[in-house]
Chains A and B, each alone.
Chain A
Amino acid sequence: MEAEAQSPGARAAHWPFFLLLTVFLAAVFLMPSTAPLFHWLFPDLLRPVYTRASFFELTVAHCELVFASTAVAAFIGIGTALYVTRQSGKEFLPLVSALAAIGQTFPPVAVLALAIPLLGYGAAPTLVALVLYSTLPILEATIAGLYAVPGSARDAALGLGFSPAGLLWRIELPLAAPFIFAGLRNATIINIGTATIGSSVGALSLGSPILEGLSASNPAYVIEGAIVVSLLAVVVDRAFETLEQALN
């Protein structure tokens, strides 16, 4: 905690949400007018600002990838966690935990490479990689949240006559909600970063300027893409935190 508070990133995270949002929107919409700045920084480059697609277009495409993959991961992660913590699915808990951990050790680039022969180029293999990658944090957080429900509350609820579904909806899920929410937040932030590699298989995302900059030796493109994607991550993280505080 102490060390984190010292780093510039963590300090930026304490900025008021609307200030951050303004900076992010400025970066998205005003990027074309930064040409003189990047020209001054990199005088040798012919095209100092990425123009193949607007940064607004890139951001929307990026958010679509993140939203779709996180939604599917949430569905799979929460659903699986609920199943393996029920009486009927208990025996699968060790297997599911092991599979999820193995899934996490798989590099996303490898998942992309494996998915291309099946799904071709573009957004589809990217979505598969993102879903695989972000299911684990949601699954783990949901299991942790359900295990954090006091055993005494569960015993009392059953003894007083809750049905299994009533126990789940009215006692277990509300008590596990902060954990599940933290898992969703984690998965979303991971996906915002990881979605950039989708551009290596042809998906449109904020990774597009970064990858093109890398292959064409244009450091300005890399910086522009990286600035917008990191601001997006910080803004979304702040938004989650604001929402979390509102829910408590």
Chain B
Amino acid sequence: MIEVDSVSKTFGALKAIDGLSLKVEDGTFCTLVGPSGCGKSTLLRMINAMIAPDTGRISLRGADIATLPPDQLRRGIGYVIQSVGLFPHWTVADNILTVPRLLRWPKEKCAKRLDEIVALTEVDPAWLSRYPRQLSGGQQQRIGVARALAGDPDIILMDEPFSALDPPSRASLQAAMRRIHAQSKKTIIFVTHDIDEALKLGTQIVLLNKGRIAQTGTPQEILARPKDEFVETFIGGTAPRLRLLDFEPVSTRMRPETNVQAPPIFADASLKDALNLMLSESCAMLAVQDRDGRRVGTLTVADLIEAPHGS
């Protein structure tokens, strides 16, 4: 667990972090999101002691990070930055093995880990003997992610890792992160200024404004119940009501009738899939089935607009 306890940090006249407290449970994919200058990167860089807080304390796995030697601490935390920062004079394989070698793992263990990481992060093995400059931006950041995971840290910090990439590379790396998080259950702290990315990836969203937490919660909570005007404005562009349909299965809105004929949809499909199907089939009603193909209910367009029990 990561615990941030009433931390403040001032740079000159700027209060970057203002008495902020936050708890992140193990296995959480936590996205820190907010406008530029809200303190999200500062908060991230305080977790691995790259920036020291003026007041307050931060503890990882129950230990105050101020009591640990910074380089030892950081070897146990993955770190990915927007500008990637691969070492230009090392091959891709050497770059990936940075942390295992800092940890002085034996040679065989390093070689085995390299194979695992290449498979996990879908790195093309042909790249391993190349130098970073021979790779595209998206390929380089994939190596950046591989390097952060190589030492098998339980916490990974990512500072706007995909912001500078072209949309296909970004989408592909986002998908990779979701998969890696689902498989490994690592704790990920992910900074982004892009609320779409934050909602897409995060299981816990932390919305920051002026060094304080404006709101924190699951994507659904943020979308359904924005706490104040700032949050409402910040998520406004994302079509929040439409996006909420993504997080809710058909089964929560369907009515029990089973006699009407309509195009079929699974009960565990999302409401967004249901709406999409209605639009593409030009119909206002769907026949809901379970995974065995048994008819379990009916979903109408009215159910999408208003929940039957008024949620």
Residue numbers of A with Cβ under 8 A of B are 150-163, 166, 171, 174-175
Measured CB to CB, the nearest residue on chain A to B75 is: A161
The answer to whether A155 touches B71, judged by C-beta atoms less than 8 angstroms apart, is no
| Min distance, Cβ B131 to any Cβ of chain A, angstroms | 12
Q: Flag if B89 contacts A174 (CB, 8 Å).
A: yes
B71 adjacent to A162 (CB under 8 Å): yes
Instruction: Find out whether the CB atom of A156 lies under 8 angstroms from the CB atom of B79.
Output: yes
Instruction: Name, among A158, A159, A160, the residue most crowded by chain B CB atoms within 10 Å (CB to CB).
Output: A160
Q: Are A158 and B102 in contact (CB under 8 A)?
A: no
- Asked whether, in the complex, the Cβ of B50 is within 8 Å of the Cβ of A159, the reply is yes
Residue of A nearest to B48 (CB): A159
Partner of B85, one of A153, A161, A166, A175: A153
CA of A157 to CA of B85 in the docked complex: distance in angstroms? 8
Interface mask (B28-58 → A, CB under 8 Å = 1, otherwise 0):
0000000000000000000010100000000
Mark contacts of B293-309 with chain A using CB atoms, 8 A cut-off: 1 yes-contact digit, 0 otherwise.
00000000000000000
* B104 CB → nearest A CB, Å: 12
Asked if B72 lies at the interface with its beta carbon under 8 angstroms from chain A, I say yes
Residue-wise interface mask of B (75-90) relative to A, using a CB-CB cutoff of 8 A (1 in contact, 0 not) = 1100101011111110
Tell me whether chain A's interface is mostly helix, strand or loop, or mixed. Answer: helix
Once the chains bind, are A160 and B75 in contact (CB under 8 Å)?
Answer: yes
Residues of A within 8 Å of B81, CB to CB, are 152, 155-156, 159
B102 touches A153 (CB 8 A): no
20 additional A-B pairs beyond A150-B83, A152-B85, A159-B81, beta carbons within 8 Å, are A150-B88, A153-B85, A155-B83, A155-B85, A156-B79, A156-B84, A156-B85, A156-B87, A156-B144, A156-B147, A157-B85, A158-B50, A159-B50, A159-B79, A160-B102, A160-B147, A160-B148, A161-B102, A162-B71, A174-B89
Complex CA distance for A151 and B82, rounded to whole angstroms: 12
State how many angstroms separate the Cβ of B61 from the closest Cβ of chain A.
16
Q: A residues within 8 A CB of B88?
A: 150, 153, 175
Q: Which B residues from 85 to 117 make CB contacts under 8 A with A?
A: 85-89, 98-99, 102
Q: Provide the residues of chain B in CB contact with A152, threshold 8 Å.
A: 81, 83-85
Chain B residues contacting A153 (CB-CB under 8 Å) are: 85-88
Task: Choose one: A155, A162, A174; the contact of B102 (CB below 8 Å).
Answer: A162
Q: Which residue of A lies closest to B157 (CB)?
A: A159
Q: Which interface residue of A150, A156, A175 has the most chain B CB atoms within 10 A?
A: A156
Docked CA distance A171–B102 (Å): 13
B residues 204-262 near A (Cβ < 8 Å) are none
The answer for the CA separation of A175 and B85 in the assembled complex, in Å, is 13
B15 at interface by CB-CB < 8 Å: no
Residue of B with least CB distance to A156: B85
Closest residue of A by beta carbon distance from B50: A159
Contact of A158 among B74, B84, B144, B157 (CB under 8 A): B74
A151 partner residues in chain B, CB cutoff 8 A: 83
A155 to B87, CA, bound (A): 11
A and B contact pairs by CB, cutoff 8 A, 22 listed: A150-B83, A150-B85, A152-B83, A152-B84, A153-B85, A154-B85, A155-B83, A156-B86, A157-B85, A157-B87, A158-B50, A159-B74, A159-B157, A160-B75, A160-B98, A160-B147, A161-B71, A161-B75, A161-B76, A161-B102, A163-B71, A166-B71
